C-alpha cells in the first residue's frame, strides 16, 4: 500500500472518531440550544405603521430591535418554544404577546396591533345617571368605536353581565330589574381585536327607595282537599312594605303566567283557592304584593303540584321544576307522552287525596300511553315520600298498562317505599336500564312481554318480598344486576318452551331464595348467589330439558341447587357452604338421576342427592380471597382455577362459553 493511501485511511479514521465523540457529547446534554426567528409589523388601532417601537423577547433581552418606517421588525436567535415578545413605545401602552418559535425556522406574524397609551383613557367619562328604585342609566365614552360589556352586582364580584349589541364611541345603557334601596357595583369592559380584556375602575351606586311593594316572603301549596281545587298560602313581608293587597298567578305546564283573581285580595287574607285548576296538569302558583297605585312586587313562586285527574296532553317535566309534589293518582292516557328530564325528584304524599284507583289509600302512577324517564348516573330521576316517611308501603308505585301508542322508557330511575310491586309491567314492550328499587315490599313484576327486555345495571335492595318476578315473557336478560338484602331475588314462570330468562354477571344476596320457578329456555351464568339460611336456586320445572343451563356460578347457601322436576345442565359451578353446615349441595327430585359434571360441591351434609357428581366433579375448599365484605374471587393458589370443563377457572369469575 502506498503512503498516500495510508494517509487517506488515517484521516478517515480520525474523522469517524470525531463524529463519534460529537455524538456522545450531544447525548450527554452538551447539544447546542435550538433557535428560530420572528418577523412582523407593528401597527396602531387604525392600521398605520408604528415606527421606532422597541421589540424584544424576555428570554433574549440582549437582542432588542426597532420597528422600521413601515413598522416591520426582525428578531433572530430566539430560543425555540414559547416566547413572550414585548413591544414598547412612548405613545402606546406596553404590549406583551406570547409567540411559539419553531426550531431552525422563520416565524412570521402579519402584524401586532397597539392600542393608545394610558389605559384609563380607553374607557372614560363614566357617568351614573337617572337612578331609580329598580333601574339605572349609565353612560361612558371609548377612545374608538367598540362594543362593551357592563359587569354588575351587589358586590365587587359582580355576577351579572349586560352586553352591548353594536360598537360605538359614546355609550348609554339602562340596567333594569334591580332591587330598591340596594348598593350595586359595576365596571365597563371591552375586548380588543387580540382578545385582550380592558376594564374601567369599579363604580358603586345605590338604588332609590321602593316605588313598588316588597314581595311576599313565601308561597306554598296546601294539601289537596277536594277534586279540582288547589289552595295556595303565602306569608307577607314584615318590613318596608307599601302593599295594599295581593294578586295570584298560575303557570300551567310550559305556558305563560296568568292572573287568576278578579279583584285584588285583601291584606287580611293569606290563602287563595283556585277552583278552576285543570285536571291532569302540573301547576305552579305565584303571589305578588300590590300597592295603592297598582304596582306589583316580584313574584314569589310555589313548588309544582300535579292537579288530580287524567293527563290528556303531552307533558315534559324539566329539572327546573323539581321537586314535584304529587298528592293523588297520576294517570297517563293512551297516545300521551309524559317525559321527565334528568335530576327531577317526585315527592309522593302518604295518602291518595281522593281515594281513587286500584289502591284507594295510596298514590299510584298508571301509564296507558308512554312515559320517558331520562335520568343519568349523576342525576337520576327519583320517586320518594313527601313526608320523609320510612315506611315500605308509602305509595303504590308504577303500573305500565300498554305500549300500543309508544314504548315507555325508564333510565337511571330510583324508587323508594312502595307497597306491593314498585313497578308492574303488563304491556308488551318496555325499555329499562339503571333502575334502582329500594326499601319496598316487592320490586318489579313483568308479565306478557313480547319484545326482548334487557335489564341492564339494575339494583334491588331491602325488599321484603320478591325483587323481580317474570311471568310468561318472551325474552328477559338480566345483565349486571345487584340484589342485596332481598327475601327472594328472581322468580320466573312460563307455560311456553321458547320463553327465555337469561341472568348473567349478577350478584344476589338473599334471605330465602335466589332464583326459582318454571323455565322454558334459561341461561344462568357468571352469577354470585349468597343465601346463608336459604336456597340459592330452586328449579320447579324445565320445559326444554338440558337446554336450560346453570354455568360458572358461585353459590354460598344453606341449600345449593334444588331440581324438583325436569332436566337441566349444571356445570362449572362452585357450590359451597362456607360455614360447612350446609344441608344439600345439589338435589334432584325428578324421575331422572342425572350426572352434573365439573362442579365443586363443598361444606354440605349431603353433597349430591338424587344425582351424581359425574366427570370433573370435586369436593374441596375453594379458597376464596375473603375480606369484609366477603370477596368470592379465588385465591391465587386455589385448585379451582384450573378445574372447569375447559381447564380454566370455575365459578362466578371464570369464563363461561354460553
pLDDT-derived band at 545, boundaries 50, 70, 90: confident
pLDDT tens-digit readout, 94-146: 788 888 988 888 999 999 988 655 444 678 889 998 887 778 899 999 888 89
Quick one: 507 and 615 in the same domain? Answer: yes
Can you give the pLDDT at residue 287? 96
Q: For residues 367 and 407, give the distance between their C-alpha atoms in angstroms, rounded to a whole number.
A: 11
Q: Is 499 in contact with 523 (CB distance < 8 Å)?
A: no
pLDDT-derived band at 361, boundaries 50, 70, 90: confident
Quick one: 468 and 571 in the same domain? Answer: yes
Structural domain includes residue 647: no
Q: Which of 118-127, 431-440, 469-478 has the lowest mean pLDDT?
A: 118-127
To the nearest whole number, what is the mean pLDDT of the chain?
A: 88
Quick one: 293 and 326 in the same domain? Answer: no
pLDDT-derived band at 324, boundaries 50, 70, 90: confident
Can you give the pLDDT at residue 408? 96
**CATH number, domain with residue 350:** 2.160.20
Quick one: 97 and 137 in the same domain? Answer: no
186 to each of 212, 307, 339, 649, how far by Cα in Å?
Answer: 24, 44, 42, 70
Q: Is the per-residue pLDDT at 22 higher than 50?
A: no
Q: For residues 321 and 344, give the distance between their C-alpha atoms in angstroms, rounded to a whole number.
A: 7
Percent of the chain with pLDDT over 70: 91
Cell triple for 468? 323481580
Peptide bond into 629 cis (omega under 30): yes
Q: Which of 99-103, 135-139, 155-159, 304-308 has the lowest mean pLDDT?
A: 304-308
Can you give the pLDDT at residue 438? 96
Q: Which of 322-326, 332-336, 633-637 has the lowest mean pLDDT?
A: 322-326
Can you give the pLDDT at residue 23? 41
Can you give the pLDDT at residue 508? 98
Quick one: 559 and 448 in the same domain? Answer: yes
222 to each of 204, 272, 325, how far by Cα in Å?
Answer: 43, 10, 11
| Bridging pattern class, strands 459-471 and 482-493 | parallel
The mean per-residue pLDDT over the stretch 406-417 comes to 96
Residue with cell 300590590: 290
Structural domain includes residue 572: yes
Q: Is the per-residue pLDDT at 229 higher than 60?
A: yes
Q: Is the per-residue pLDDT at 186 higher than 90?
A: yes
pLDDT-derived band at 304, boundaries 50, 70, 90: confident
Quick one: 285 and 348 in the same domain? Answer: no
3-state DSSP assignment of residue 633: strand
Can you give the pLDDT at residue 244? 83
Can you give the pLDDT at residue 116? 57
List the one residue out of 402, 411, 410 whose CA is nearest residue 369: 402
Q: Is the per-residue pLDDT at 239 higher than 80?
A: no
Can you give the pLDDT at residue 389? 67
Q: For residues 81 and 58, give the distance between their C-alpha atoms in angstroms, rounded to a whole number.
A: 13
Q: For residues 371 and 534, give the distance between their C-alpha atoms in angstroms, rounded to a whole number.
A: 37
Please give the DSSP secondary-structure letter assigned to residue 420.
S
Q: For residues 489 and 534, give the distance between their C-alpha atoms in angstroms, rounded to a whole number.
A: 12
pLDDT tens-digit readout, 11-20: 344 334 444 3
Q: Is the per-residue pLDDT at 410 higher than 60?
A: yes
The mean per-residue pLDDT over the stretch 616-644 comes to 95
Q: What is the DSSP string of 572-591?
A: S-EEE-TTS-EEEEEEE-SS
Quick one: 619 and 546 in the same domain? Answer: yes
Q: For residues 218 and 241, give the distance between their C-alpha atoms in angstroms, rounded to a whole number.
A: 15
**CATH number, domain with residue 265:** 2.60.40.10
Angle at 246 between CA 245 and CA 251, to 5 degrees: 170
Which one of 159, 180, 206 terminates a domain? Answer: 206
3-state DSSP assignment of residue 501: strand
Please give the DSSP secondary-structure letter assigned to residue 306.
E
Q: How long, in residues, is the chain? A: 658
Q: Is the per-residue pLDDT at 470 higher than 50?
A: yes
Structural domain includes residue 211: no
Q: Is the per-residue pLDDT at 181 higher than 70?
A: yes
Give the number of other Cβ atoms within 10 Å of residue 443's Cβ: 29
- Domain that residue 132 falls in: 121-206
Give 180's Cβ-side CA count (13 Å radius): 14
Domain count, the chain: 4
Quick one: 222 and 274 in the same domain? Answer: yes
Can you give the pLDDT at residue 13? 42
Can you give the pLDDT at residue 156? 87
| Bridging pattern class, strands 230-235 and 271-274 | antiparallel
pLDDT-derived band at 171, boundaries 50, 70, 90: very high
Structural domain includes residue 539: yes
Of all helices (H) and strands (E), which one includes residue 311?
strand 309-311
> Quick one: how many helices (H) and strands (E) in the chain?
1, 55
Quick one: 250 and 377 in the same domain? Answer: no
Q: Is the per-residue pLDDT at 29 higher than 50?
A: no
Structural domain includes residue 373: yes
pLDDT-derived band at 353, boundaries 50, 70, 90: confident
Quick one: 138 and 257 in the same domain? Answer: no
Structural domain includes residue 273: yes
Which one of 68, 91, 113 terminates a domain? Answer: 113
The mean per-residue pLDDT over the stretch 618-625 comes to 96
The mean per-residue pLDDT over the stretch 237-249 comes to 80
Can you give the pLDDT at residue 96? 83
Q: For residues 564 and 542, give the distance between their C-alpha atoms in angstroms, rounded to a whole number.
A: 9
Can you give the pLDDT at residue 6? 39
Of all helices (H) and strands (E), which one includes residue 20?
helix 3-25
pLDDT tens-digit readout, 249-287: 999 877 889 999 988 899 889 999 998 888 767 788 999
Structural domain includes residue 503: yes
Quick one: 592 and 524 in the same domain? Answer: yes
Q: For residues 513 and 557, give the distance between their C-alpha atoms in angstroms, rounded to a whole number.
A: 9
Can you give the pLDDT at residue 59? 83
Structural domain includes residue 10: no
Quick one: 463 and 382 in the same domain? Answer: yes
Angle at 266 between CA 261 and CA 272, to 5 degrees: 45
**CATH number, domain with residue 103:** 2.60.40.1120
Q: Is the per-residue pLDDT at 226 higher than 70?
A: yes
Q: Bigger pLDDT: 131 or 25?
A: 131
Would the CA dihedral through 602, 605, 609, 615 be positive or negative?
A: positive
Can you give the pLDDT at residue 288? 92
Can you give the pLDDT at residue 464? 96
Cell triple for 341? 328530564
Which one of 87, 113, 139 terminates a domain? Answer: 113
Amino acid at each position: 500500500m502506498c503512503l498516500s493511501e495510508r494517509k487517506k485511511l488515517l484521516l478517515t479514521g480520525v474523522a469517524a472518531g470525531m463524529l463519534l465523540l460529537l455524538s456522545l457529547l450531544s447525548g450527554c446534554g452538551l447539544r447546542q440550544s435550538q433557535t428560530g426567528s420572528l418577523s412582523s409589523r407593528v401597527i396602531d388601532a387604525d392600521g398605520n405603521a408604528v415606527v421606532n417601537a422597541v421589540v424584544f423577547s424576555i428570554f433574549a433581552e440582549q437582542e432588542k430591535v426597532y420597528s422600521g418606517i413601515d413598522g416591520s421588525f426582525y428578531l433572530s436567535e430566539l430560543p425555540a418554544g414559547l416566547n413572550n415578545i414585548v413591544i414598547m413605545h412612548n405613545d402606546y401602552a406596553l404590549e406583551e404577546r406570547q409567540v411559539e418559535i419553531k426550531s431552525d425556522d422563520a416565524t412570521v406574524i402579519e402584524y401586532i396591533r397597539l392600542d393608545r397609551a394610558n389605559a384609563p383613557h380607553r374607557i372614560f367619562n363614566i357617568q351614573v345617571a337617572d337612578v331609580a328604585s329598580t333601574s339605572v342609566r349609565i353612560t361612558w365614552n371609548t377612545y374608538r368605536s367598540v362594543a362593551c360589556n357592563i359587569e354588575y352586582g351587589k358586590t365587587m364580584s359582580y355576577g351579572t353581565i349586560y352586553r352591548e349589541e353594536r360598537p360605538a364611541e359614546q355609550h348609554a345603557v339602562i340596567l333594569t330589574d334591580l332591587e330598591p334601596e340596594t348598593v350595586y357595583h359595576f365596571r365597563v369592559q371591552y375586548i380588543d381585536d387580540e382578545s385582550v380584556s380592558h376594564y374601567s375602575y369599579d363604580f358603586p351606586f345605590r338604588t332609590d327607595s321602593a316605588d313598588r311593594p316588597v314581595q311576599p316572603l313565601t308561597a306554598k301549596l296546601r294539601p289537596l282537599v277536594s277534586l279540582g281545587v288547589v289552595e295556595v298560602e303565602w306569608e307577607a313581608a314584615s318590613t318596608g312594605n307599601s302593599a295594599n293587597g295581593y294578586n295570584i298567578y298560575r303557570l300551567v305546564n310550559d305556558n305563560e303566567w296568568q292572573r287568576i283573581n278578579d279583584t285584588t285580595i285583601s291584606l287580611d287574607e293569606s290563602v287563595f283557592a283556585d277552583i278552576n285548576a285543570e285536571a291532569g296538569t302540573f301547576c305552579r302558583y305565584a303571589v305578588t304584593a300590590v300597592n295603592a297605585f297598582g304596582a306589583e312586587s316580584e313574584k314569589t313562586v310555589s313548588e309544582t303540584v300535579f292537579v288530580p285527574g287524567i293527563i290528556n296532553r303531552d307533558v315534559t317535566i324539566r329539572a327546573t321544576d323539581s321537586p314535584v309534589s304529587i298528592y293523588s293518582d297520576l294517570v297517563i292516557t293512551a297516545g300521551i307522552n309524559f317525559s321527565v328530564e334528568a335530576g327531577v325528584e317526585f315527592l309522593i304524599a302518604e295518602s291518595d287525596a281522593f281515594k281513587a284507583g286500584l289502591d284507594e289509600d295510596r298514590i299510584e302512577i298508571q301509564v296507558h300511553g308512554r312515559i320517558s324517564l331520562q335520568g343519568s348516573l349523576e342525576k337520576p330521576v327519583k320517586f320518594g315520600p313527601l313526608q320523609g316517611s320510612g315506611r315500605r308501603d308509602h305509595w303504590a308505585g308504577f303500573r305500565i298498562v300498554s305500549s300500543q301508542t309508544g314504548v315507555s322508557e325508564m333510565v337511571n330511575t330510583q324508587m323508594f317505599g312502595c307497597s306491593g310491586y314498585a313497578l308492574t309491567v303488563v304491556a308488551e314492550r318496555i325499555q329499562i336500564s339503571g333502575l334502582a328499587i329500594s326499601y319496598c315490599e316487592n320490586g318489579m313484576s313483568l308479565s306478557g312481554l313480547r319484545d326482548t327486555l334487557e335489564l341492564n345495571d339494575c339494583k334491588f335492595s331491602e325488599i321484603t318480598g320478591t325483587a323481580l318476578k317474570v311471568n310468561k315473557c318472551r325474552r328477559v336478560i338480566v345483565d349486571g344486576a345487584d340484589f342485596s338484602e332481598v327475601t327472594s331475588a328472581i322468580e320466573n314462570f312460563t307455560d311456553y318452551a321458547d320463553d327465555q330468562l337469561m341472568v348473567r354477571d349478577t350478584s344476589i344476596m338473599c334471605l330465602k331464595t335466589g332464583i326459582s320457578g318454571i323455565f322454558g329456555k334459561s341461561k344462568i351464568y357468571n352469577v354470585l348467589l349468597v343465601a346463608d339460611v336459604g336456597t340459592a336456586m330452586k328449579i320447579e320445572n324445565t320445559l326444554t330439558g338440558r337446554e336450560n343451563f346453570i354455568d360458572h356460578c358461585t353459590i354460598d347457601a344453606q341449600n345449593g341447587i334444588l331440581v324438583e322436576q325436569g332436566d337441566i345442565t349444571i356445570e362449572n359451578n362452585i357450590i359451597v357452604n362456607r360455614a360447612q353446615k350446609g344441608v344439600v349441595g345439589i338435589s334432584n327430585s325428578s324421575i331422572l338421576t342425572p350426572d352434573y359434571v365439573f362442579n365443586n360441591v363443598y361444606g354440605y351434609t349431603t353433597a349430591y342427592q338424587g344425582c351424581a357428581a359425574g366427570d370433573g366433579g370435586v369436593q374441596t375448599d375453594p379458597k376464596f380471597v375473603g375480606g369484609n365484605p366477603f370477596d368470592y374471587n379465588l385465591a391465587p393458589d386455589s385448585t379451582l382455577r384450573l378445574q372447569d370443563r375447559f381447564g380454566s377457572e370455575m365459578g362466578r369469575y371464570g369464563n363461561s362459553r354460553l
